[in-house]
Amino acid sequence: MNKHIQFTKSEGAGNDFIIIDNLAGDIDLSPDEVAFLCDRHFGIGADGLILAESSGDKAGDFFMKFFNSDGSVAEMCGNGIRCFAKYLYDNCLLNMDTFSISTLAGLKSVALISENSEVNMVKVDMGRFSFKSANVPILIEGDEFIDQTIDVQGQKMKFTSLSMGNPHTVTFVGDIETAPVSTVGPFIENHPIFPKKTNVEFAEVVSDSKLKLRVWERGVGETLACGTGASAAALVANRLGLTGKKVKVELLGGDLETEILNDNILMTGPANRVFTGQIILKMEEKT
């Protein structure tokens, strides 16, 4: 059967998303359907898809169900949650400047930032992070994987892994322009020591308060920005003594501000509605 689906296309620092209202709970997308909608040639085109759902018996005002562009489910997306927060505001689904959103990575607090009565920035408490190997997860001996060497097709590179609610692995490069994102990225993403795969960040330290970053996202490929990836890179740089607690992360699609607190990190960045529309999707029969 065919279903007419209303959607909003949003972007945060160039990381773009399809957002669909599923508060009624009547939309159940298969991985193939998500991949079709995210396809830039045959569908709408996006790095990911978000279903806006009721929090139900979960904590939080709303639940963000997030899919990568290949149709796989992801625990959390930093740029996505900012766009989701603005979507809720733009569609008058709430009338608060601060609220909480439930995700598969836990409850996240968000704050809308307005300028001339228009919300264009969102601050997100990204919640607790963890360097524990079991939480990433990563299959190694030892409690943490900090600045350790992995042989990448004959080249030895150092990586650090951590969990932002989803897995991240960070390496530092001398020149972000020539970073081997398209070759090393998929190799590390699919390395057997990562049972749930991993996002891969390539960071260049500019100063103790600035990083340049490129990201290979799990299930997507290289994107213009990644909020959890920016947070992960800032945390690793601080852990290794390369930066302070407040860091601007410069990505291909724009800048994100990060601030490390005690055991969590705040991330602030833009969120913009690009357009709204309707697409006719041939829904699979559910059995």
DSSP character string of 195-252: TT--EEEEEEEEETTEEEEEEEETTTEEES--HHHHHHHHHHHHHTTSS-SEEEEEET
Active-site residue (options: 38, 83, 92, 226): 226
pLDDT at 286 over 60: no
pLDDT at 187 (0 to 100): 98
Q: Can you read off the two tokens belonging to residue 23?
A: 């508060």
Q: Can you read off the two tokens belonging to residue 12?
A: 């945060």
Tens digit of pLDDT for each residue in 68-124?
Answer: 999 999 999 999 999 999 999 999 999 899 999 999 999 999 999 998 888 999 999
Tens digit of pLDDT for each residue in 36-76?
Answer: 999 999 999 999 999 999 987 778 899 999 999 999 999 99
Q: Can you read off the two tokens belonging to residue 257?
A: 């501000």
Tens digit of pLDDT for each residue in 160-178?
Answer: 999 999 999 999 999 999 9
Tens digit of pLDDT for each residue in 246-282?
Answer: 999 999 999 999 999 988 999 999 999 999 999 998 7
Determine the Cα–Cα distance for residues 184 and 152; give it in Å rounded to an integer: 7
pLDDT at 284 over 80: no
pLDDT at 208 over 90: yes
Active-site residue (options: 38, 77, 83, 92): 77
pLDDT at 19 (0 to 100): 98
* Interior angle at CA 52, CA 276 and CA 68, nearest 5: 85
Cα 243 from chain centre: 22
Whether 226 is catalytic: yes
**Three-class secondary structure of residue 80 per DSSP:** helix
Residue 131: DSSP 8-state: -
Beta bridge partners of 209: none
Q: Can you read off the two tokens belonging to residue 46?
A: 């996006």
Rounded to 5 degrees, what are φ and ψ at 258?
-125, 150
- CB atoms < 10 A from the CB of 234, how many? 30
Determine the Cα–Cα distance for residues 164 and 273; give it in Å rounded to an integer: 26
The position carrying tokens 């991949």 is 35
pLDDT at 115 (0 to 100): 84
* Closest by CA position to 201, among listed 283, 78, 30, 55: 78
Altogether, the residues listed in the chain come to a count of 287
**Three-class secondary structure of residue 28 per DSSP:** coil
Average pLDDT over residues 211-233: 97
pLDDT at 281 (0 to 100): 85
Determine the Cα–Cα distance for residues 279 and 26; give it in Å rounded to an integer: 16
Determine the Cα–Cα distance for residues 149 and 120; give it in Å rounded to an integer: 41
pLDDT at 287 over 60: no
Whether 38 is catalytic: no
Q: Can you read off the two tokens belonging to residue 74?
A: 């992801």
